[in-house]
Structure 1
Amino acid sequence: MTILGPKCRRANLKVPHANTVRLRVSWLSDKTKDEARDGERGRKRHRPVPGSYKEATHPNSVWQIDHTPLDLCIVDDVYRRNIGRAWLTLVIDVYSRCVVGFYLSLDKPNATSVGMALVHAILPKEGWLAAHGIDVKWPNWGKPIKVHADNDKTFRCDMVTRAAMAQKFDLEWRPVKTPHWGGHIERLLGTLNQEIHTINGTTFSNPTQRGDYKSHEEAEFTFSDSETYVTKYLCGVYHQSKHDGIGRPPIRMYESGILGDAHTLGTGLQAPIKDPMRLRLDFLPFNEVTVQAYGVTWDTITYYDPSIDHWIHARDPKTGRKRRFTVRRDPRDLSSIWFLDPDRDVYLKIPYRRMEHPSLNLWELREVRAHLRAQGKDEVDEDLVFDTYEELQRIKKNASDETKEARKRDQKKRTYEKKKAAEAAQVGAAMPASQQAPPSRPANTNGLLEDDEEISSFEVVRGG
């Protein structure tokens, strides 16, 4: 009004009331207001975005990946009480709009979420579906040419970028100030959560929608129920329904892109994944360590197997310094690591040096270290770590299981075990017949080995 007043007086016009101006402004379209306020950036908000990327010319040419919390409270398996929401990491094929893989977790998104979602997407799903007892068809698999992700640190971490290089596909991150760039997957995540709003225990999208509805009291889905529901919805409903953006069901678009039809020249099926286990290991967090006489140490825990003896105190032939080796671990189970033997390009499974130690996960290890720091113990050794872990376990066992965090903690442990089994089943089913373990033979009556039998103290995963 400070601007309008002088202008109106110079033009011999009556100065309008502020409410009149606000009313007239409210009549303007959002496009007009955004252009007046923000110029070119405002105009861009209202320009149509193409329905597909030019690079997405066939299935698996371009994928998009993103995270979202499910709009659903879930309950634990034992007490059937609320433990909060799960996080979904989803991978979509842009050409067909099919979901090629996902990872559901009780933990906030991290590098493991990204890695396991991509492994799930790349490998055939038959073994994974069988392990979960889910009777649907999910024929999407294969390596992508390019994966688009936003700038979240979980997508830009060294583990993911190194794994992409090892598996020979490109990673591209969202350019700055281009919110429409990941539109395909964001719309799908929104659609999925809208579907979840029909389930008891939904949190809806915001407190206004939720109103007086008590999500935590109405919750009835377990983590396993949620995983099954998401799978059946994606494969049985979303893949089979006509998609407005492509004018046909996603699964039909995917199949025609692979097998061809009257209008499309198919690309054909990719060659089977040569080494599914190596693929999975490439998407686990890594570290660079030296080999000492007692083994290798990662986060205070020491691992040892005779298979790495010849690398003890090894020197780098170029620098003369102590040689560092790549090791990987699954954060959900720290009882073993995988050591990359550089001469043979194979991963060797290396267990705890002290086998009596209990298995724990990375989040439990961090809890132990935080507990010790709170007591002023900054320098700790392996014995103190495991003694403290067992002490905390005893305290938790004696504490009430009525707390939400206690139920969630215990549920995570159960979920990790089921996930590892399902992932192993997926890898096993995708393994070429030549790499699958032969059926075991009955033991000889004298308990001795046949001449052609061998004993190995470690597992080997060969390189590609």
Structure 2
Amino acid sequence: MASIEERAARAAKVASVLRPLGNGVLSRKQAERAAQLLGVHCTTVYRLRRRFLADPVASALEPRQPGRATGGRLDAAVECVIDEAVHEWLPDQRHLAHPATDLVLEVKRRCSVAGLSPPSRSTIARRWLSYREQDALARAAIPDAAIAPGTFQVRHPLDIVQVDHTQADILLVSELDGRIIGRPWLSVALDVATRCVLGFYVAMERPGAATVSLLLSRVVLRKEPWLERLGIEADWPMRGIPRTLHLDNAAEFKSRALRSGCREYGIELMYRPVGKPHFGGHIERLNRTLMERVRGLPGSTGSSVKGRKARQAEKTASLTLKQFEQWLAVEIGRRYHCSPHRGLLGLQPMQKWQDTWRASDSRCLPTQPDAELKFLIRFLPVASRTIQRDGLKLFLIRYWHPLFAAWRETRRSVTIRYHPEDLSRIFVSAGRSSFVEVRYADLRRPPISLFEQRAALRAIRARGQRAVSEREIFETVEQQRQLVVFPAGYSSATPHVTSSWRFGSEEQHRRSCTR
């Protein structure tokens, strides 16, 4: 029997003779001349030429192996037994450790029951190999098979938005006394299709349901008011209602406020498989990129414990929480969005957004403040209280509304939604879908944030005082604010209230407070 090299050399010689003959009609004289060159009969030349024209490569002319063709001369009943075992029995046996051996045993068992002569092991193996090849070809024809394993392909903006938290590798200092307050938490929402950052939120407290609500409001609402509050000029048009939020299994991603808000606006919640962080690889990579940029800031701790003492982050820390938020807005809005991205084949995220946004059917809220406020309320953190004779209390602050006069007789339980950055107003619902805006009982109180309320509470209790009154909380907050030197254009009366939350002018806000 000729070796593989000899058969390939013979096929190449035949091809060199047949190729100059072209695709036209082969005359008798040409066939005889080719047969003379190849040392075969002229009828063999015609047969070889038909094979070559069907597949004009030299390998198509290699001599065929002698012997019986695969699958021939096998009893039809035995073929039927093998076919049933391979196509019906084997796919259901997912627990088999050695499927090839078990398939042979099953075919022989069925043949024995039917009184048939069982086929050989090699015959069964060939049938199984043919089945697997056909199955692989069928799966390759599926459109999703074009996506490489390990990738997450999304075509349109806002189809998939990944959300994740990370603790930044930097130490921040207090605006009050310049002391180190720790490492902040960064929450980011990333559009997978365009790699654009739809929004971020940075805070010192560990992320919770309120963090997710505020982050999602930045994803959907206009960013101009927020950038104006920060004093940053950046082109950041990316916004809209996501179709799907891709989340891990943290408790804050399963809060009642998030689930009810997503249900209201048709946002699907998709959770990663437990223990498989690579399913959120896009946003994990973004977090690493941002932390690499953070290393150049004063107070950077680095991502590894190794060498942390040499960096002396405690001695160099000087950025406050607001300054770090400003740096992130510039880093993302001006640099990241305008830099070539490897995952976009060199395109900039901003360019990718502009190119694909026009062709997509992504949803945006109307620009009216009422629509934005309604959306924000749906995602605010939720609390439950009972209306008392003097109103209701939340975070040791008393609230009042004329409707409470009717509700307090029945001690009605109500649902409250509050904004952590502005406790001056809350939204109360007594079982209906609509919410009533409720202000402080004492309208002379200034707006404060939940962060300030908790800081004041800690300061009061640090003095050894167990009973805390509303008056003491506001007095402590005012004292702490007087210690802070705010930049020009930044109101110390409402240092933590976002512009996206305070709709309308300051005059409108003052009128609403005095109603």
SS in 2 for 1:208: coil
Amino acid at match of 2:436: L
Write the distance in 1 (CA, Å) between the matches of 2:469 and 2:506.
40
Q: Cα deviation per residue 1:218-273 (whole Å; 9 max; x = unaligned)?
A: 1233322211211111122211222222212212221111124xxxxx43674525
The number of equivalent residue pairs is 358
CA contact (8 A) 1:333 1:359 kept: yes
One of 302, 312, 333 as aligned partner of 1:214: 312
SS in 1 for 2:338: coil
CA contact (8 A) 1:348 1:458 kept: no
Q: Cα deviation per residue 1:122-164 (whole Å; 9 max; x = unaligned)?
A: 1121221122221110010110011011111121222222222
Provide the identity percentage: 27
Q: Cα deviation per residue 1:157-183 (whole Å; 9 max; x = unaligned)?
A: 222222222332122222223221111
Cα distance change of structure 1 residues 144 and 299 upon mapping to structure 2, 3 Å threshold: same
SS in 1 for 2:469: helix
Q: Which has the higher relative contact order, 1 or 2, with Cα contacts under 8 A spaced 6 or more apart?
A: 1
One of 438, 454, 457 as aligned partner of 1:350: 438
Q: CA deviation at 1:281?
A: 1.9
Cα distance change of structure 1 residues 58 and 369 upon mapping to structure 2, 3 Å threshold: same
Residue 272 of structure 1 corresponds to 366
Residue 401 of structure 2 corresponds to 305
Write the distance in 2 (CA, Å) between the matches of 1:308 and 1:219.
49
SS in 1 for 2:189: strand
One of 357, 369, 376 as aligned partner of 1:258: 357
Residue 287 of structure 2 corresponds to 189
Write the distance in 2 (CA, Å) between the matches of 1:81 and 1:232.
25
Write the distance in 2 (CA, Å) between the matches of 1:456 and 1:239.
39
- For the pair 1:60 / 2:158, whether they are aligned, the reply is yes
- For the pair 1:386 / 2:484, whether they are aligned, the reply is no
CA contact (8 A) 1:149 1:155 kept: yes
SS in 1 for 2:306: helix
Q: CA deviation at 1:82?
A: 3.3
- For the pair 1:281 / 2:377, whether they are aligned, the reply is yes
Amino acid at match of 1:98: C
Cα distance change of structure 1 residues 198 and 267 upon mapping to structure 2, 3 Å threshold: same
Flag structure 1 segments of 5+ consecutive residues without an equivalent: 1-38, 40-47, 261-265, 315-321, 402-406, 408-413, 429-435, 441-454, 460-464
Flag structure 2 segments of 5+ consecutive residues without an equivalent: 1-96, 98-147, 485-490
- For the pair 1:329 / 2:429, whether they are aligned, the reply is no
Q: Cα deviation per residue 1:19-38 (whole Å; 9 max; x = unaligned)?
A: xxxxxxxxxxxxxxxxxxxx
**Structure-1-length-normalised TM-score:** 0.66
Residue 205 of structure 2 corresponds to 107
In terms of fraction of residues, the more helix-rich structure is 2
Write the distance in 1 (CA, Å) between the matches of 2:448 and 2:216.
25
Cα distance change of structure 1 residues 134 and 267 upon mapping to structure 2, 3 Å threshold: same
CA contact (8 A) 1:290 1:313 kept: no
- Structure number with larger C-alpha Rg: 2
Residue 449 of structure 1 corresponds to none
Residue 50 of structure 1 corresponds to 150
Q: Cα deviation per residue 1:53-72 (whole Å; 9 max; x = unaligned)?
A: 4xx33101110111111111
Write the distance in 2 (CA, Å) between the matches of 1:306 and 1:176.
49
Write the distance in 1 (CA, Å) between the matches of 2:471 and 2:229.
35
One of 498, 501, 510 as aligned partner of 1:424: 501
Query: RMSD between aligned alpha carbons?
Result: 3.9
- For the pair 1:131 / 2:229, whether they are aligned, the reply is yes
Q: Cα deviation per residue 1:361-406 (whole Å; 9 max; x = unaligned)?
A: 54645984998799897xx7xxx53366479779999xxx9xxxxx
Write the distance in 1 (CA, Å) between the matches of 2:169 and 2:448.
30
SS in 2 for 1:351: strand
Amino acid at match of 1:249: Q
SS in 2 for 1:424: coil
> What does 1:169-208 align with in structure 2 at a 5 Å threshold?
169-208=267-306
Cα distance change of structure 1 residues 288 and 211 upon mapping to structure 2, 3 Å threshold: closer
Write the distance in 1 (CA, Å) between the matches of 2:342 and 2:480.
51
CA contact (8 A) 2:241 2:362 kept: no
Write the distance in 2 (CA, Å) between the matches of 1:204 and 1:299.
37
Cα distance change of structure 1 residues 336 and 457 upon mapping to structure 2, 3 Å threshold: closer
Write the distance in 1 (CA, Å) between the matches of 2:177 and 2:461.
31
CA contact (8 A) 1:287 1:328 kept: yes
SS in 2 for 1:306: coil
One of 194, 218, 231 as aligned partner of 1:96: 194
**Structure-2-length-normalised TM-score:** 0.60
CA contact (8 A) 1:357 1:386 kept: no
Write the distance in 1 (CA, Å) between the matches of 2:165 and 2:289.
14
SS in 2 for 1:88: strand
Write the distance in 1 (CA, Å) between the matches of 2:372 and 2:404.
24
> What does 1:359-398 align with in structure 2 at a 5 Å threshold?
362=450, 364=453, 368=457, 384-386=468-470, 389=473
CA contact (8 A) 1:240 1:249 kept: yes
Write the distance in 1 (CA, Å) between the matches of 2:395 and 2:173.
33
CA contact (8 A) 1:333 1:362 kept: yes
Cα distance change of structure 1 residues 212 and 415 upon mapping to structure 2, 3 Å threshold: farther
Write the distance in 1 (CA, Å) between the matches of 2:201 and 2:493.
12
Write the distance in 2 (CA, Å) between the matches of 1:257 and 1:376.
59
Write the distance in 2 (CA, Å) between the matches of 1:209 and 1:347.
53
SS in 1 for 2:246: strand
Residue 245 of structure 1 corresponds to 343
> What does 1:130-149 align with in structure 2 at a 5 Å threshold?
130-149=228-247
CA contact (8 A) 2:447 2:494 kept: no
SS in 2 for 1:251: helix
Write the distance in 2 (CA, Å) between the matches of 1:68 and 1:135.
26
Q: CA deviation at 1:353?
A: 3.0
Cα distance change of structure 1 residues 271 and 154 upon mapping to structure 2, 3 Å threshold: closer
Q: Cα deviation per residue 1:300-325 (whole Å; 9 max; x = unaligned)?
A: 543212144343445xxxxxxx6533
Q: Cα deviation per residue 1:332-355 (whole Å; 9 max; x = unaligned)?
A: 444442213666x54332233355
Write the distance in 1 (CA, Å) between the matches of 2:179 and 2:399.
38
> What does 1:222-233 align with in structure 2 at a 5 Å threshold?
222-233=320-331
Amino acid at match of 2:499: A
